[in-house]
Amino acid sequence: MERSEEMYAERVRSLAPADEPERQYYFIDVMKSVLAEKESRIGRKLTMNVVTFGCQMNAKDSETFSGILSAIGYEETDSEDADLVLYNTCTVRENANTRVYGRIGYLGNLKKKNPDKRIILCGCMMQEPQAVEKIRKSYRFVDVIFGTHNIYKLAELLFEREVGGELVIDVWDKATGIVEDLPRRNKYGFKAGINIMYGCNNFCSYCIVPYVRGRERSRSAADIVAEAEHLAENGVREVMLLGQNVNSYGKNTPDGITFAQLLHMVSKVDGIRRIRFMTPHPKDLSDELIEEIAANDKVCKHVHLPLQSGSTAVLKAMNRHYTKEQYLALVEKIKERIPGVAVTTDIIVGFPGETEEDFAETVDVVRKAGFMAAYTFLYSKRTGTPAAKMEGQVPDDVAGERFKRLLDAVGEVSAREAQVYEGSMADVLCEEYKAKEGLMTGRLDNNLLVHFPCDETLLGEIVRVELKTCKGFYYLGERCE
């Protein structure tokens, strides 16, 4: 860095506010000037592309990244030819890392054609020291690396890259607080996610999340309600409250507001018509929460309740803290107290030590619980988790054959559960219009999809639809005029 540039950088840093998020808004303004100067030199607008890997919390974070970059002045595009590409990474499965490395290599080839291109890597994968070290050594063209605990610092880290001219690495071992109220560019104008907490304390033996997302930290209920009010004022009708285990919400806050109480508070926001949440844990889903879902018309009658395995022995090895019988009793209670509720789940096949008898227990739960849908996964050994070192790793061909049988059972049960709504009327949120077919795709309160002829102008509205024909996982319907 030349002396004049160094002096400029030091002056900018010295004037930056200490408090967040004011500090980041300051760096957004600084980067506006930096970007404008670069655009003047190049003679065109600069573009950005944010690519999300992984979960809905990552998707929510990516909306913040898009908001910050848009505020700086970048134009959003869906092409990785963009002048700035940000990968928001996932590391839940080992092959997710392999996929990202391949994509980074592709970006390197693009950067040869555009030396001013900026490549930014963040998210869960970047919390792994070995991943950061590999990128630092083998992908020297990357510009910025940061993790999950300081996502709000994007503008500041971009500034440091621009003035320093070298790779910026800023990965924290743990979070120092919660910073919200940053620019955000929602993917949809009518629905949005709200982070209510971060991190996880459960330490399931197969899961890397507690190691890369940190311990549980809850936002204040007042801040969450204020965000819901802001979203409603801007046309959002449906919100999804997000956390690794929403049941744990409030356990580390001074006011001790429970998740059920938070649901009730958010439901009082004018303009919010629907509330969803993701994800509760079976071990501590309370009667209070079940009663709030049953009594509150705004809370969607859909409970996603990850099973993972139907075998009590496997559940113990997974460190899940419930038995097969306890899980089935909970599902029964939910269905008794919440008429019309849809229960969906996650299931892992081929966990270390899983026998044919264990797998049969899982299929038994699928048939008895009556899941509306199940997200099924082959076990993926994740380095850094206790399960990766367990004996009895299930051969790929055995796990694959069981996986196919599980899909058959899930398909049969899901079709049966969905069939009961055929011929009924339901309120549907219009979420996606397909002009070629002239069809609207919408989602029912219980999360089932329905496709029906509808005017594009009703996108984002809630309309009444007759569910004419069940197709297993979705419906064909007609709008009720």
For 263-274, what is the mean pLDDT? 97
What is the structure's pLDDT at 254?
Answer: 80
What is the structure's pLDDT at 178?
Answer: 84
What is the structure's pLDDT at 426?
Answer: 94
pLDDT band at 35 (very low <50, low <70, confident <90, very high): very high
Is pLDDT above 80 for 92?
A: no
318 vs 38, 94, 212, CA distance in Å?
A: 52, 18, 18
What is the structure's pLDDT at 375?
Answer: 93
186 vs 61, 68, 193, 250, 460, CA distance in Å?
A: 10, 12, 9, 26, 13
Domain architecture of the chain: domains with CATH = 3-170 (3.40.50.280), 193-295 (3.30.750.210), 301-420 (3.30.750.200), 425-479 (2.40.50.140)
Phi, psi of 183 (to 5 degrees): -55, 145
pLDDT band at 3 (very low <50, low <70, confident <90, very high): low
For 213-237, what is the mean pLDDT? 94
Is pLDDT above 60 for 1?
A: no
Whole-number Å distance between alpha carbons of 131 and 124: 10
For 361-379, what is the mean pLDDT? 96
What is the structure's pLDDT at 251?
Answer: 87
Is the CB of residue 104 less than 8 Å from the CB of residue 139?
A: yes
For the chain, what is the mean pLDDT?
Answer: 93
* pLDDT per position as a tens digit, 426-459: 999 999 999 888 999 999 999 999 999 998 999 9
For 176-182, what is the mean pLDDT? 85
* pLDDT per position as a tens digit, 316-358: 999 999 999 999 999 999 999 999 999 999 999 999 999 999 9
Enumerate residues 6+ apart whose C-beta is below 8 A from 44: none
Is pLDDT above 90 for 98?
A: no
Q: Which of 27-31, 61-65, 329-333, 381-385 has the lowest mean pLDDT?
A: 381-385
Is the CB of residue 311 less than 8 Å from the CB of residue 328?
A: no
